[in-house]
Amino acid sequence: MKVNLLEFDRQGLVAHSATMGERAFRAQQLMRWIHREGESDFSRMTNLAKSFREKLEASAEVAALPIISDSTASDGTRKWLLASGGGNAIETVFIPEVNRGTLCVSSQVGCALECAFCATGAQGFNRNLSVAEIIGQLWLANRELGAIGPDAPEAGERVISNVVMMGMGEPLTNFRNVVTALHVMLDDHAYGLSRRRVTLSTSGVVPEMDRLARECPVALAVSLHAPDDALRDRLVPINRRFPIRELLAACNRYLEHAPRDFVTFEYVMLDGVNDSVEQARQLARTVAPVPCKINLIPFNPFPASGFRRSPSEAVRAFRDVLQQSGLVVTTRKTRGDDIDAACGQLAGQVQDRTRRVIRRLQGVQ
């Protein structure tokens, strides 16, 4: 079986090239061909020695997951459904905006954390994605969007300027593969993204937050969604292992290493559940110890979720209370909901290994 070179960061590519008798600078050239040029045909990598290209042709490949479907929403948001084997599929979303383009990348097939309001979690969990399957989403999106190759925009005009690890899965429970992929995103011989322009979203896996701070600190977003432990235990079950007090302490430790001087707390607005004025006051008190920004997210419905989106008046009242408390607050604009590409809607196709779906159906019956 051929080795997929998307599996390697620069250090790994140097080591792999050394097994073929090649020096480190050749691996760097190869990395630039793969990630900067989006090239998968070794014969076109013209500054590599012919003997090296022949070795690569015989033993290696550059291959992202196959595209099952490619959908574009009325607002320009684009979603790819990618086959990940065994009847599974993941989703990747590109969100174009006036001054930036953001790619939302998945880290797992499904998710094991069972957040109550998330379509991905409702489908169960199958497996972690490999490094090649994670970074391959960025590699493929750049090719599909015409962002690399001979017809690419001028230097400095990136089509994908930001990456958010906010797709299917909890990135920190696939720690090693995610961090290796992050290294490729940040590498100047690959995509050269700033740490400030790569954001990892976590539900609050505290030990791995500390590891990320040490190994590859990027911008951090935390899925909070409740002002107190009792409610967060229901909405974000990992809170039972790492309650809010521990989570906030981890956020402050992370900020000692982070490229930004604040953490973003994500808060999905659920009608009659977490959106009252009193809960806004409580939230302001809860997050006060952490330099932060609050991102209010309209709930995006999916079948049998059991939740409703908070009315716009409730969102405004909630926001006003937070702002009056001195917090920076944004309300996320829903993008791509007509193709189920909005926040919390990514579902793909998951052959659940946890039997969660069966247990849930049995409970309903």
Report, as residue numbers or ranges, the catalytic residues.
91, 343
Between helices 206-215 and 175-186, what is the axis angle to 10°? 30
The alpha-helical segments, DSSP class H, found in the chain are 10-18, 24-31, 50-59, 119-122, 131-144, 175-186, 206-215, 229-235, 244-255, 277-287, 312-324, 356-364
Asked whether 165 and 203 are in contact (CB, 8 A), the reply is no
Count each helix (H run) and each strand (E run) in the chain, helices first.
Answer: 12, 14
Angle, alpha carbons 355-360-365 (nearest 5°): 125
**Closest alpha carbon to 71 in 339, 324, 354, 364:** 339
User: Within a 13 Å sphere around the CA of 321, how many CA atoms are in the beta-carbon half?
Assistant: 17
